[in-house]
Structure 1
Amino acid sequence: MTETRIRFGILGCANIARKVSRSILLSPNTTISAIGSRSLDKATAFASENHFPESAKVYGSYDAVLDDPDVDAVYVPLPTSLHVRWAVVAAQKKKHVLLEKPVALNVGELDTILKACESSGVQFMDATMWMHHPRTAKMREVISDDNKFGQLKSVHSTFSYVGEGDFLKNDIRVNPNLDSLGALGDTGWYSIRAILWAYDYELPKTVTALRYPEYNESGVILSCGASLNWEKEGKVATFYCSFLTNLCMDIVALGTKGNLRVHDFVIPFNEKVGPFYAVANSRWAELSTGCVPEPSDFKIATSYPQEALMVQEFARLVEGIRSGVGKPKTKWPILSRKTQVIIDSVLASIKNGFQPVEVVY
C-alpha cells in the first residue's frame, strides 16, 4: 500500500533547506508542494538546482506558500528573529510546523509559537536531526542498562566548527539582527539537547556560564560554555560550543559502571552508518600496561539519512492528525522548550556575572 505523502511548503532558500529538501524527496511519505522566497527568481533557481518535482509551485512570498491549499506542512529555515512571526502565521493557517533550530530567541517567543500550534491543532517539531537517527535509540539503550552502565553521573558535549570565508563577518548566525544567539543558539543548541537527552530530559537545578565567552564586534557570541548541576547524586554536565575551533561533535557520558562516547553525533561522518563506542567495568590491565576490557564499537546502519527519518516521522504524525486517529504529539514541543530554557539560563548567567542561575521551566 502506497503511503500518503504529506505535502511540504518551504519558507526561504537557506543553505540548510537544500539538505532538508533532499530529505523530503527521499522520504517515502513526503513531497515538496511549494517553495517561497522574497525573490521569485531566487525561489525558481532554488527549486531547479535542488531537483524539485515539476508539480512544485514557486512563489515570490512566504504568505503565498501559507495560503496554498496544497500545502499540508511547512519547513521554516528562516533566521531565528523571523521564527515567531512566520511560525505563528503558519499555525494560524493550519499548516504543521517543522522549525529550524534555535527555534526562537527566547522562551517567551517560543511559547507564542507553541500556543499558536496548540490552538490550531497542528504538529510542532524542531529540526534537531540527530534525534531521529537509529543510533540515538541504541545509545539510549546502552546508557539505560543498569548492569553495564550504572548511574549516569557526568556528560560533556562539544559542538564546534570554524566558519569558512567571511562567515565571522557576514553569516546570518553572527548578525545580531537575524540570529543574535550566535554560537550558543546554533552549535550550543545541539550540545544542550545532547545533555538533556542523556539525562532523560530531567532539567538541572542550576546553570552556570563559564567565564570568558568570545564575541564578535557586534556583540554576538562566537564561543562559550556552561556547567549544569542537578544538585543531587553528584549529577553534572558541561558543554562547549564555538565558531572558532576545529570541527568537533562529541558526547562523553560517564556512568558508575560504564562509559559511552560518540564523535559525530550531530552529523555522522558517513550518513549510512552511525558509530559510537561503549565500555563497561573497565579496569587496569596487569602492570597497568593498558585497560580491559577494550571498548565495544557499535555501528548502527540506516537506510535513510537522519534528516529523512526526521521528516518521515514528522509526516507520520501529521497524517495521524489529518486522518483523525491521532493528536499533536506533545513530546517535541516539550523538548524544544526545555532546550530553550537552558539557552536562556546560560545568557542569564552571563548577564549576572557568571553566577549560578536557577532553572525555571
Structure 2
Amino acid sequence: MGGPIGFGIMGCAEIARKLCRAIGIAPNATVVAVGSRSPDKARKFIADNGLPATTRVHGSYEALLDDPDVEAVYVPLPTSLHAHWVIAAAGKGKHVLVEKPPALNTAELDRILEVCQINDVQIMDGTMWMHHPRTAKMRDLLSDPNLFGQVKRTNSIFCFNGSPDFLQNDIRVKPDLDGLGALGDAGWYCISSILWANDYDLPKTAIAFPNPVKNEAGVVLSCDASLHWEDGRVATFHCSFLANLTMDLTIIGSKGTLHLNDFIIPFEESSANITFASDSLLNDAVTAWATLSQKHVVSTDLPQEALMVTEFSRLVSEIKESGSKPDYKWPTISRKTQVVLDAVKASIDSGSKPVQIVF
C-alpha cells in the first residue's frame, strides 16, 4: 500500500482542532494543507496545532481543492455551506470527511451523494462515537437473543448548557449558517444512536413534542420527539442547548437493558464503559434487585476520532491503490439519519403533527 492519505483542512473552525489531532494520530493519514479565506488565520492554525512548517497555506477553499497533494478534505464549515463545498471537492476527485449534519435536508444530501457517486469519491460524516470499539461490543450484546432479545424501547439524550455568548453568537444559533440548531447539532447524535440501536430499520412516524424552545430568529434551541415503528417499537429523544451536559443512551429489549451515560464522548479517552443487565428481577421481599447490572469496560489504543480517520483513510487507500468502489455503507447511514431528522423538523414546523418517514 502507498503512504498516508494527504488531508486538506477546509476552514479553521474550533472542531477542526480535534480532527487535526486525530489525523496526526491516525497511522494512515497526514495533514498536508490548510485552507482559509484568511491566510494569516491558516498560518496561526498550523502553528497552534503543531503541524509541520511544510504544511501548505491556501488563501481560499478553491486553492485547497486544486492542491494535487490533497487527496481528501475535512469539511468543518457551517451546514449551510456543506453542499457547495462538498460537491466542489467531489468534482475535483477529493474524498470528503464532512461534519454532521452533512446537509440541511435530504434533497440537498442527495445532490451531494450523487456527485460523490459519479466521481467515485468516498464520503463519511463525522459521527465519531460509531467508530469506538465500544460500539462493536454493544452490537454483540444486543445481537444475543438469549441476553437481550428484541429491541422494544430506545431513549437518547444529548444536551449541554450553552453560555450566553454561545446562545447569541455561535453559528449553531444562526438561521443562515446552521439553521437546524439543536436538532441538527445535538439531535443528529440522538437520531443516529436510535437508528443504530434498531439496526437501521427506519421508523414509520415521527412526532415532535409540543412547545420546542426557539430563539428570536426561529432556530431550535431545545426539542423532543418520539419515533414509532409499526411493530410497536418506540424511541424518544431530547436535544438541547439549554440543559446540563448529558449524553445518555438507554436501549431496552425483551430480555435485557443497555445503558450508556457518555455515548457521544466517553468519560475517558482510553476506555469506555457499558452497563448491561439481563433477565433482571427483584428479590422475594421486593426490597432490592436480585440480579445486578454488569459493567463491561472496552479499552482502545486510539481515540474514537482517530479511529474514524483511520477507517476513512483505509477506504480511500483501497480506492486509490486497488481501484475499489467507495463504501456506500456510511453515506447510507447518513441519509437515513437525515431522513428522520427531516421528519422531526417537519413535525416541529407543523405544530407536532405526525409525519410519515419515507426513505
TM-score interval for Structure 1 and Structure 2 normalised by the shorter chain: over 0.9
Contact 1:3–1:29 (CA under 8 A) maintained in structure 2: no
Match of 1:284 in 2: 282
1:213 paired with 2:221, answer no
Alpha-carbon distance in structure 2 between the residues aligned to 1:310 and 1:54: 26
CA shift for structure 1 position 212: 0.9
1:320 paired with 2:345, answer no
Deviation sequence 1:22-53 (CA, Å, 0-9, x none): 00000010000100111010010001000112
Match of 1:26 in 2: 25
Alpha-carbon distance in structure 1 between the residues aligned to 2:265 and 2:35: 27
Greater Cα shift, 19-28 or 289-298? 289-298
- Secondary structure, counterpart of 1:58 in structure 2: strand
Alpha-carbon distance in structure 1 between the residues aligned to 2:281 and 2:185: 38
- Counterpart amino acid of residue 275 in structure 1: N
Uncovered stretches (5+) of structure 2, i.e. residues with no partner? none
Alpha-carbon distance in structure 2 between the residues aligned to 1:213 and 1:25: 40
Contact 1:121–1:327 (CA under 8 A) maintained in structure 2: yes
CA shift for structure 1 position 78: 0.1
Alpha-carbon distance in structure 2 between the residues aligned to 1:290 and 1:227: 32
Match of 1:148 in 2: 147
1:98 paired with 2:104, answer no
1:161 paired with 2:152, answer no
- Secondary structure, counterpart of 1:254 in structure 2: strand
CA shift for structure 1 position 165: 4.4
Match of 2:199 in 1: 200
CA shift for structure 1 position 276: 1.4
CA shift for structure 1 position 59: 1.1
- Secondary structure, counterpart of 1:23 in structure 2: helix
CA shift for structure 1 position 164: 2.6
- Counterpart amino acid of residue 111 in structure 1: D
Contact 2:73–2:89 (CA under 8 A) maintained in structure 1: yes
Alpha-carbon distance in structure 1 between the residues aligned to 2:54 and 2:134: 35
CA shift for structure 1 position 202: 0.5
Identity percentage over the alignment? 56
Alpha-carbon distance in structure 1 between the residues aligned to 2:252 and 2:13: 37
CA shift for structure 1 position 357: 0.6
CA shift for structure 1 position 350: 1.6
Superposed, which structure 2 residues align to 1:1-361 within 5 Å? 4-232=3-231, 234-361=232-359
CA shift for structure 1 position 106: 0.6
CA shift for structure 1 position 347: 1.1
Alpha-carbon distance in structure 1 between the residues aligned to 2:351 and 2:158: 24
Q: Segments of 4+ in structure 1 off by > 4 A?
A: none
Contact 2:2–2:317 (CA under 8 A) maintained in structure 1: no
Alpha-carbon distance in structure 2 between the residues aligned to 1:3 and 1:71: 14
Contact 1:3–1:28 (CA under 8 A) maintained in structure 2: no
Deviation sequence 1:134-179 (CA, Å, 0-9, x none): 0000001111110010111000000000113400000000011100
Distance 1:3 1:265, change over 3 A: farther
CA shift for structure 1 position 231: 1.6
Alpha-carbon distance in structure 1 between the residues aligned to 2:164 and 2:219: 18
Alpha-carbon distance in structure 2 between the residues aligned to 1:18 and 1:353: 39
CA shift for structure 1 position 4: 2.4
For normalisation by structure 2, the TM-score amounts to: 0.99
CA shift for structure 1 position 351: 2.0
- Secondary structure, counterpart of 2:161 in structure 1: coil
CA shift for structure 1 position 326: 1.9
- Counterpart amino acid of residue 338 in structure 1: K
Count of aligned positions: 359
Alpha-carbon distance in structure 2 between the residues aligned to 1:100 and 1:346: 20
- Secondary structure, counterpart of 1:166 in structure 2: helix
Alpha-carbon distance in structure 1 between the residues aligned to 2:224 and 2:351: 14
Deviation sequence 1:307-330 (CA, Å, 0-9, x none): 000000000000000012421000
Contact 1:225–1:240 (CA under 8 A) maintained in structure 2: yes
- Secondary structure, counterpart of 1:122 in structure 2: coil
Alpha-carbon distance in structure 1 between the residues aligned to 2:299 and 2:164: 34
